[in-house]
Amino acid sequence: MSTEMTYRQAICQGLTEALDEDPRVYLMGEDIGPYGGAFAVTQGFWEKYGPRRIKDSPLSESAFVGAGIGSAMAGLRPIVEIMTINFSLLAIDQIVNHAAKVRYMSGDQFSVPMIIRTVTGAGASVAATHSQSFEGWYASVPGLYVAVPSTPEDALGLFRTCRELMDPVMFVEHILLYGARGEVSDGIKIPLGKADVKKQGSDVTIISYSKMVQNSLEAAALLENDGINAEVVDLRTLRPLDVETIIASTKKTHRVVVVEETTKFGGFAGEVVSIVQQEAFDYLDAPVERVAGEEVPIPYSMPLEKLAIPDTQRIVSAVKKLI
């Protein structure tokens, strides 16, 4: 059985289950209390659970992420919300130098079972300092898990798994996905490090994650009109990364396009390209193609912003270039 819900509702359900099932869980972040969250995910939580478990924080990411780390080390299960991934820069020392390294540097005496929820991506016309995509940065840090769900089912299924981990997770939600609808299987639980083939194909593999998965699926539908059968692989998590599915799809189709929203230079897609060419070079019929954002700060102007972000047509063009 399954239930249709939005991406926002899936996250809300995951948070509700966590609070109801585990008394060690509490939420902390900016505007998550009476306001109901910047993206309305925690609406009604303050009234239902009270200020002891829904902690409305000041605008000090360094302080409240650090407090979350300390409480996790002491035995609680904090779910910390950073309003956008752009603001995580203010807590990057806590995340990278403390949360990610406590277990290793304490010789496994302490762990940090904490989920950091945050919002990535552009497309909402909120200008350059609110529209960045740093999930690839965090994927480069040993000790952190990085989840990037693209559908309501993946959001809830991955979140349930993240609750069981003893190490910190960057749970990254895209700003434009909250209204996306989809079927969510009852009791769904998705392991980290397991990509999903969202569409089977035989002519080319399109590899992506988060919002760009939706763009890739739209591109695949358009390519069908030209007789091109594209396979779409959703990474779902960047750390751990499902190399096995990436390579299996490459060997099947012999052509690969990697799509991500952030700028090409230094992007996570470069890591995927490297893996494909190291592990499946003899199976490739063409060089691996990359589709990424333009090398500019994201413009505030919506028409310019649209030009800076990969769209469906750019993915279609990249595939046709290979074919």
The residues annotated as belonging to the active site are 61, 130
Taking alpha carbons only, the member of 171, 150, 175 closest to residue 259 is 150
Is 234 in a helix, a strand, or coil?
Answer: strand
CB contact at 8 A, 131 and 309: no
Strand order in the sheet with 230-234: 196-199, 230-234, 204-208, 256-263, 289-293
Residue 231, φ and ψ in degrees, nearest 5 = -100, 135
CA 296 – CA 126 distance, rounded (Å): 15
Residue 38 is classified by DSSP as T
Helices (H), the chain: 7-21, 45-49, 61-73, 92, 102-105, 135-138, 152-162, 211-224, 243-253, 269-279, 302-308, 312-322
